[in-house]
Amino acid sequence: MNKPEVVAKIFQGRAFVPSLEGAEAFAPINIALCKYWGKRNTAINLPAASSLSVSLPSKGTRTYIKVIETAEDKIFLNGQSLDASLDFSKKLTDFLNLFRYEARGFEVHTESNIPISAGLASSASGFAALVLALDKLYNWRLSRSQLSILSRLGSGSACRSLWTGFVEWQAGQDAEGMDSHGVPLTDTWPDLCLGLLVFAEAQKAISSRVAMQHTVATSPFYKTWPSVAAADLATLKQAIALKDFEQLGFVSEANAMAMHALMLSARPSVLYARPETVSTQHAIWAARNQGLSLYFTQDAGYNLKLLFLEPQRAEIEALFPHCETVKPFVK
């Protein structure tokens, strides 16, 4: 099964004909509390394990798209025209090839309020916003689950950015991937805070996709990961249902550290953390030993996301003055 075959299965021979001159959509980034890290099928981004995230509705990507007369795509990122040879442009064009109208090009304007390719889930919100905009442009009227599958073809974690709040990416068992998509949880948590600690906005040297494939292929310990992720996912869902923050924070942090331990065990090792990443982790542990209920998670990058509750917000922001706090369940 490849990406064109997945698209063909969803659309069942329907032609792509624009119904609007242009369309735009926004999608939030999502921060994984239980990582998936590894695929059972890399061609269509099917994960080896289910995962769980929380979306940050004020952070993400807004995309405008229209069909143009020229054959070549015109791609703009934060107001700047991008050369077709850039990796960002190539990934976008390859994805858009799945939905071409009469071999014409697309003009795409992407605006993001988060750093690109810096471990802050920019690709997740980017491909989710693009699929939502395409759904409007072509008047597909697809279900959210179908749009989640299409987003997954661009970036695996994009399938979780179709919703706000807590979202589970169900790994599924179907070889064609029709049961592998995001499913929103009904639980809310108004006091939950995520603090973004951005140490650097530079693009990371090794992409998440490359690091993931390398870890799966070379880590002698990777075979244990799916069972670890499954146990963490079950515990996190219970913690969310019971509003047990200590359990939520503990497991989220442990899951992130386990993922990075796998990368360190790859041969050669993959290390995203910078000195300020490690020093901040130690500062968080020291604060917790002093009674502060504070945890972190770290994706495939050097930046950290803090987890805490509203009553301790002032104390945590005083400790980390560069922390940008987002409340996922408060508009």
Residue range 66-110, pLDDT digits in tens? 999 998 999 999 999 999 999 999 999 999 999 999 989 999 999
Amino acid at 193: C
Mean pLDDT of 196-214: 90
Residues 135-144: tens digit of each pLDDT: 999 999 999 9
Model confidence at 191: pLDDT above 80: yes
Domain residue limits, the chain: 3-184, 192-326
Rounded to whole angstroms, how far apart are CA atoms 147 and 129? 10
Q: Taking the model in full, what pTM does it have?
A: 0.95
pLDDT in tens, 24-41: 999 999 999 999 999 999
Question: Contact, 212 vs 38, CB < 8 A?
Answer: yes
What CATH number has the domain spanning 3-184?
Answer: 3.30.230.10
Q: Is the pLDDT of residue 266 over 60?
A: yes
Radius of gyration over every alpha carbon of the chain, rounded to an integer in angstroms: 20
Overall average pLDDT of the 244-249 stretch: 98
Q: Is the peptide bond before 268 cis (omega within 30 degrees of 0)?
A: yes
**Phi and psi of 222, rounded to 5°?**
-60, -30
pLDDT band (50, 70, 90) for residue 13: confident
Confidence of residue 15 (pLDDT cuts 50, 70, 90): confident
End-to-end CA gap in the chain: 40
Q: Which residues contact 94 (CB under 8 A, 6 or more apart)?
A: none
3-state secondary structure of 151: helix
* Residue 230, helix vs strand vs coil: helix
pLDDT of amino acid 204: 83
Band the pLDDT of 203: cuts 50, 70, 90.
Answer: confident
The closest alpha carbon to 301, from 114, 130, 160, 167, belongs to 114
Helices (H), the chain: 3-11, 87-96, 122-138, 144-154, 208-218, 225-242, 245-265, 275-289, 313-319
**CATH of 192-326 given 1.10.260.40, 3.30.70.890, 2.40.30.10, 3.50.50.60:** 3.30.70.890
What pLDDT was estimated at residue 205? Answer: 86
How does the average pLDDT of the chain come out, rounded? Answer: 95
Which residues, other chains included, contact 240 with Cβ-Cβ below 8 Å and sequence gap of 6+? 166, 185, 187, 189, 248
User: Is residue 25 within 8 Å of 133, Cβ to Cβ?
Assistant: yes
Q: What is the pLDDT of residues 142-180, one digit of tens each?
A: 999 999 999 999 999 999 999 999 999 999 999 999 999
Are both 3-184 and 192-326 of the same fold? no
What is residue 125's predicted lDDT score, i.e. its pLDDT? 95
With 80 as the cut, is the pLDDT of residue 115 above it? Answer: no
Is the peptide bond prior to 275 cis by the omega test (within 30 degrees of 0)?
no
User: Tokens 């041969």 sit at which residue?
Assistant: 267
Predicted confidence band at 14 (pLDDT cuts at 50, 70, 90)?
A: confident
Token pair 């021979």 is found at 13
The share of the chain scoring above pLDDT 70, in percent, equals 98
CA distance 96 to 300: 25
For residue 173, the tally of other CB atoms under 10 A from its CB is 10
DSSP β-bridge partners for residue 34: 52
Please answer whether residues 188 and 165 qualify as being in contact, where contact means their C-beta atoms are separated by less than 8 angstroms: yes
- Report the pLDDT value the prediction gives residue 120, as an integer from 0 to 100: 63
User: Which of the four pLDDT bands, split at 50, 70 and 90, describes residue 119?
Assistant: low
> Residue 18: left if φ>0, alpha if ψ -120 to 50, beta else—which one?
beta
Tokens 């508009």 sit on residue: 331
Check pLDDT > 60 for residue 278.
yes
pLDDT at residue 18 greater than cutoff 60 = yes
Predicted confidence band of residue 118 (pLDDT cuts 50, 70, 90): low
